[in-house]
Structure 1
């Protein structure tokens, strides 16, 4: 199928799925349709294992959204389908470029849709086209219309055949949905990639191309390479001493200093935030010094050694934070935030590993980002596939921590476990529980295309 056909077919399917409906199963079906079209029409471009992986994740993300219908599963669906399209159509471009390209096309498509010559096929109009149009369409239509008016005045029953019915169609909504479907389909199938992105793509490679030219590349024009190397060594030695002192004081405060129970939550979050910011800055320091020439500088052994020590010490800091977060969970139970801390610290460890590999294997800074974008994507998939609200509820009930009725009522997709626990303990979740049950009742009354299947299979509260 050609692009204009794909746009029109997708627009029609979108309109049929979303007219007079809210977002639900229909978006999952639309995502599956797009995935199916890509697999069918462009299967000859599936040249690597990543294509198969993206097809599987796209299907699973669509199923996850059909089940939960929440923002995380929507994000997973959107990223999966867009990544699959981008990887299929533009396999040479780095996947990290999909974000600025998607943002840019979201704006430019509003104008490019009106440039019909750029996306509609050019057809030659023959000389007798106007004659055929007049002879076969306009003239018959005029005569039929005139005689219809005459016959309608002469017979009420004849007029009733064409007028005595009501077309239950909201034309305003239909037009808006059709326009939205056309806009999304046009952006998806007929995206525009500026030449600058193709030129910039080579700068996103994992390996340096011209090693000789960057070997003596300086960051500051007023500093010779020797001064810059020495400056880096001094900086990293001081940073290592600083972080070592911080690790000692941090762990003392975490594990030995007595903190009031009422202030423990705030103190823990403050320390975790400090660690998060520290890790980001730590990676930034490495990227600054090893963005070019020092990767191949034989005199930079001390700089590399200090950098690896810096990475190792940051790893110790992360492990300390994981232990403290685990201790915090054992005292107060799980929450979404505490799970989020685990997720970020895991990504931080992965980031430090790739930063270490960047130094040892002499990779570009882009190497780190090219790798981490996939791990961040994987984290989003994991968040969308697993029912974390139910996991938190069951864990907290099993250890009898964090089981306050209002807290459990604020969690998502834990309704069966929450109801059973409240009934067993005769608890009242107050307003959050009432609000949650109202949402469940409303979602269960949605039409099929607007449903989240989780609520469809959830029993009604007795």
Structure 2
């Protein structure tokens, strides 16, 4: 058996030990350290490119934030970071985006593709000899296939014949944890897919052969493009962007007027004012970027008289930035009136990502970049934004804000969002907040469930947030 295969087996066992029956905690940090250390020990000559470093740092930071905050975002971003790490490490020539796509693809296809290659690809140079790796796969399947089919038929016969099922009950297999076996096999599948990366060859080739800049076509270089069509497209573009700029200017002016005056039109609520604004923003930004991508997709970038179109495109993007700012102000007004929620934080995240998309689109226009540039750079920007988001304990922030500043905090909402804000709920110290009987019952149920889950877990699930909550409960804080 090859060294890489032994490492895959060892990491699979470690995966089972660290995560079976456990929740998120120090186990994530330890597993990330092992993965990164294994990659470096197996491939010491691999140069640490900027994308590899980014994925490694993202993996470590998100796992550290799991230990400290134990938020769902930290767990999700750590899983995504590990996937990206495998992609950029084994597909070093690819962009961060395509390497990530290849890595996700590997988790669904790697096992099947690798086994098929080992078993059904002939070795033309040595037809009578099999590699050690191929023999290992065949030896595993020689044992695994008969055992699996036998177990399947035992299950079928047991369900078809009660007497046979009764007989099987006398076979004491209690020492075998079938649940752990299934979990470990699932881990083996994931670990194998991580270390045995496969690629979407067509997407990989496209990524490798495409630069970030638009290139003039042969026809454009010879100055014999379809000039009539180009002029027509140019005129259509600047007329469209001029009209859209006028409409958006009126829209932004109306918004800014009401925000400055501090009074909404009659019959308009804060809720509709904010939510309709967000919906408009989503549609507007998508259309804005789509229009820009369409008109600046090719020859028009090299048209000498395209200055007006570029200016209108830049004004259009800047007006959308103004729209982003007004939505942020309206969202803040809504939060100050009705309190903080996960969705309202999500609005801010969307606005940040929108600003990033508008700025990179502006760079595309001014520096004659292509659409691949937007995909590549925005993938990295979005990844960094969400990694930075793991540094914040969002549910705790929501709970503290609503209890301290919310005019009428929705206690039942705070109880429902997760159990990692339990510490904040148990230490409510606001004299004007009195829990109802129903709220007390829900909070007691939440505390009981938290303690029940904690009893079934070992030190591998330790994280600072849960530890702080347990300390509060043990100190008999009243709530």
TM range (shorter): 0.7 to 0.9
Structural RMSD (CA): 3.3
Cα deviations by residue, 1:298-325 (Å, 9 ceiling, x for unpaired): 1111110110111111111111111222
Alignment correspondent of 2:24:
24
1:94 aligns with 2:95: yes
**Per-residue deviation, 1:205:** 2.8
Give the distance between the partners of 1:249 and 1:344, measured in 2 at CA.
Answer: 23
1:337 to 343, 346, 356: 343
Conservation of the 8 A alpha-carbon contact between 1:215 and 1:297? no
Conservation of the 8 A alpha-carbon contact between 2:336 and 2:406? no
Conservation of the 8 A alpha-carbon contact between 2:16 and 2:184? yes
**Per-residue deviation, 1:67:** 4.4
Give the distance between the partners of 2:7 and 2:300, measured in 1 at CA.
Answer: 50
**Per-residue deviation, 1:215:** 4.0
Conservation of the 8 A alpha-carbon contact between 1:4 and 1:119? no
1:418 to 409, 425, 428: 425
Alignment correspondent of 1:249:
254
TM norm structure 1: 0.80
Structure 2 runs not aligned, ≥5 long: 122-129, 135-171
Conservation of the 8 A alpha-carbon contact between 1:409 and 1:436? yes
1:188 aligns with 2:194: yes
Query: Cα distance 1:335–1:173, how it changes in 2: closer, same or farther (>3 A)?
Result: closer
**Per-residue deviation, 1:427:** 2.5
Give the distance between the partners of 1:173 and 1:397, measured in 2 at CA.
Answer: 42
Query: Cα distance 1:193–1:2, how it changes in 2: closer, same or farther (>3 A)?
Result: farther
TM norm structure 2: 0.78
Q: Which stretch shifts more, 182-191 or 292-301?
A: 292-301
Alignment correspondent of 1:132:
none
Q: Which stretch shifts more, 193-202 or 302-311?
A: 193-202
Alignment correspondent of 2:468:
457
**Per-residue deviation, 1:407:** 3.1
1:388 to 376, 391, 394: 394
Give the distance between the partners of 1:235 and 1:62, measured in 2 at CA.
Answer: 48
Aligned counterparts, 1:5-84, within 5 A: 5-19=6-20, 21-25=21-25, 26-84=27-85
**Per-residue deviation, 1:23:** 4.2
Give the distance between the partners of 1:362 and 1:89, measured in 2 at CA.
Answer: 31
Alignment correspondent of 1:228:
233
Conservation of the 8 A alpha-carbon contact between 1:443 and 1:451? no
**Per-residue deviation, 1:291:** 1.5
1:307 aligns with 2:330: no
**Per-residue deviation, 1:80:** 1.5
**Per-residue deviation, 1:290:** 1.0
Aligned counterparts, 1:15-414, within 5 A: 15-19=16-20, 21-25=21-25, 26-112=27-113, 114-115=115-116, 117=118, 122-123=131-132, 169-202=175-208, 204-208=210-214, 210-213=215-218, 215=220, 224-252=229-257, 255-258=262-265, 263-401=269-407, 403-412=409-418, 413-414=420-421
Query: Cα distance 1:38–1:415, how it changes in 2: closer, same or farther (>3 A)?
Result: same
Aligned to 1:348, the other structure's residue is in SS state: helix
**Per-residue deviation, 1:212:** 4.2
Conservation of the 8 A alpha-carbon contact between 1:409 and 1:432? yes
Structure 1 runs not aligned, ≥5 long: 126-165
**Per-residue deviation, 1:370:** 1.2
Alignment correspondent of 1:446:
456
Which of structures 1 and 2 has the bigger CA Rg? 1
Query: Cα distance 1:409–1:214, how it changes in 2: closer, same or farther (>3 A)?
Result: farther
Give the distance between the partners of 2:288 and 2:55, measured in 1 at CA.
Answer: 32
Aligned to 2:453, the other structure's residue is in SS state: helix
**Per-residue deviation, 1:69:** 4.5
Cα deviations by residue, 1:44-100 (Å, 9 ceiling, x for unpaired): 323334433432221121222344554322221112222222222212101111443
Conservation of the 8 A alpha-carbon contact between 2:86 and 2:197? no
Alignment correspondent of 1:434:
444
Stretches (4+) displaced over 6 A:
118-121, 220-223
Q: Which stretch shifts more, 352-361 or 292-301?
A: 292-301
Conservation of the 8 A alpha-carbon contact between 1:291 and 1:364? yes
Q: Which stretch shifts more, 301-310 or 379-388?
A: 379-388
Q: Which stretch shifts more, 36-45 or 72-81?
A: 36-45
Give the distance between the partners of 1:390 and 1:80, measured in 2 at CA.
Answer: 24
Give the distance between the partners of 2:79 and 2:294, measured in 1 at CA.
Answer: 33
Conservation of the 8 A alpha-carbon contact between 1:51 and 1:84? yes
